[in-house]
Amino acid sequence: MKKLSHGILSICVSGAVLLSACGHTDDPERTTIGEAINGSSPNTNQVPSTQEEPMNAITTSTDAIPDSEQLIDPAHKEISDITVEDFKQGVFIDFDQYKQSFFDDEIISKFKGNIEAVVEKNPEKFKENLNKDSAATNKYHSYYINESEKGKEFMFYDLDILEKVNIDEREQIRVGVRFAQKSSDGRIDNTGITYFFTKNQDGEWGIENID
């Protein structure tokens, strides 16, 4: 009986050792039997993080200049051409309907003063609100006044572009204007042109170019 008892005891001890070996693995990529049964992962001793990592996070600054702001959509702007019967020399633009955001009293005043100078054929007034070394300095004659056609008259009647853009962290305001020009022979031509405003070294807006 003692021999039989010792034999049974040896079998039980050997079985326990085998079961212990089956429940252990040195391969971190594999799951042990106990883990599979309990539904736990190999790294059960790690404390789960309570913070989520943001996906594709974008850092923005409250001081950043918007890339673009548009007050008139040229694609949906409908403008009727001026006929001989409609033509009246002068500036006939309703600025109040467009006045908002960046298109404020300062920009309106400087822009209006420039096109009034065209109507009045006043080159000195035309230069008043141009930036220093502005590309528009010599465009009074090239765009508006043709020496061979001194009898030309102008009627500015609407805007078709109003936008503020940021180019290389430098702000620019674009004002597109529609106008009719009447030749000395009575012919009416409708066309448009764009004014480009930028800030000078003193931070004041001025006309940088006309194109």
Q: What is the pLDDT of residues 104-150, one digit of tens each?
A: 999 999 999 999 999 999 989 999 999 998 988 877 877 787 655 67
The answer to whether position 23 is within a domain reads yes
pLDDT tens per residue, range 155-202: 999 999 999 999 888 999 999 999 999 998 999 999 999 999 999 989
Same-domain check for residues 33 and 73: no
Q: Is residue 138 part of a domain?
A: yes
Structure tokens at 16: 């326990």
Q: Is the separation of the CB atoms in 105 and 155 below 8 Å?
A: no
Task: Answer whether residue 55 is part of any domain.
Answer: no
Residues 89 and 23 in one domain: no
Shared domain for 136 and 34, answered yes or no, is no
- pLDDT at position 50: 44
Backbone angles phi, psi at 185, to 5 degrees: -90, 5
Same domain, 95 and 21: no
For residue 206, name the pLDDT band (cuts at 50, 70, 90).
Answer: very high
Sequence-distant (≥ 6) Cβ neighbours of residue 10 within 8 angstroms: none
Instruction: Specify if 127 maps to a domain.
Output: yes
Domain with 78 in it: what CATH number? 3.10.450
Given a cut of 80, whether residue 23 has pLDDT beyond it is: no
Q: Given this model, what pLDDT does residue 64 score?
A: 53
Same domain assignment for residues 72 and 28: no
pLDDT greater at residue 67 or residue 49: 67
What's residue 140's pLDDT? 80
**Could you tell me the CA-to-CA distances from 38 to 33, 34, 42, 48 in Å, in that order?**
9, 6, 11, 18
Structural domain of residue 32, as residue ranges?
A: 2-38
Residue 53 forms part of a structural domain: no
- For residues 153 and 109, membership in a common domain is answered with yes
Q: Is the pLDDT of residue 54 over 50?
A: no
Q: Does 89 share its domain with 28?
A: no
CA atoms within 13 A on the CB side of 187: 4
pLDDT value of residue 173: 98
70-87 mean pLDDT:
93
DSSP character at residue 130: B
Per the domain annotation, does 185 fall within a domain?
yes
**pLDDT for the residue numbered 66:** 61
| pLDDT for res 161 | 96
| Residue 85 vs residues 82, 90, 119, 130, 210: alpha-carbon distances, Å | 8, 15, 19, 34, 29
Residue 52, domain member (yes or no):
no
Are 26 and 78 found together in one domain?
Answer: no
61 falls within a domain: no
37 phi and psi angles, rounded to 5 deg: -70, -40
Q: At 74, is the pLDDT very low, low, confident or very high (cuts 50, 70, 90)?
A: confident
Alpha helices in the chain (DSSP H): 2-22, 33-38, 105-120, 123-126, 139
How many residues appear in the chain?
Answer: 211
* 147 and 190 part of one domain: yes
Number of domains present in the structure of the chain: 2
Element (H, E) at 190: strand 188-199
pLDDT, tens only, 104-114? 999 999 999 99
pLDDT given at position 145: 73
